[in-house]
Amino acid sequence: DVQMTQSPSYLAASPGESVSISCKASKSISNNLAWYQEKPGKANKLLIHSGSTLQSGTPSRFSGSGSGTDFTLTIRSLESEDFAVYYCQQYNEYPYTFGAGTKLELK
């Protein structure tokens, strides 16, 4: 199975700041990498797919980069609605696997 190592596990930031989350795959997954946002009481939201393609409706302050094994999610100019848990996921091969998640908290 492809192991997805996501870091950091926790991140504290203030509105207006920029943050980055790393996701490393144990083998090459090409660009078959997605980022999701999890919020209590809401359906999980796909933010980015194919490593760097913004899903329709995702604000432009979100960006994704990387290919192969190393990927990064960057959120610029944090807004209050961005404080949530973020997961990466590889969908290059079965079983699809997720990172352990990053909880972005308000500082």
Partner 1 sequence: QVQLKESGPGLVQPSQTLSLTCTVSGFSLTSYNVHWVRQPPGKGLEWMGRMRYNGDTSYNSALKSRLSISRDTSKNQVFLKMNSLQTDDTGTYYCTRDAPFAYWGQGTLVTVSS
Q: Which residues bind partner 1 (CB under 8 A)?
A: 1, 34, 36, 43-44, 46, 49-50, 55, 87, 89, 91, 94-101
In the complex, what is the shortest distance from the CB of residue 47 to partner 1, in angstroms, rounded to a whole number?
Answer: 10
Report the distance separating Cα 96 and Cα 103, nearest Å: 21
CB of 100 to partner 1, least distance (A): 5
Taking the C-alpha atoms of residue 53 and residue 75, their distance in angstroms, rounded to an integer, is 14
Residue nearer to partner 1 on the CB measure, 6 or 69 = 6
Q: Is 46 left (phi over 0), alpha (psi -120 to 50) or beta?
A: beta
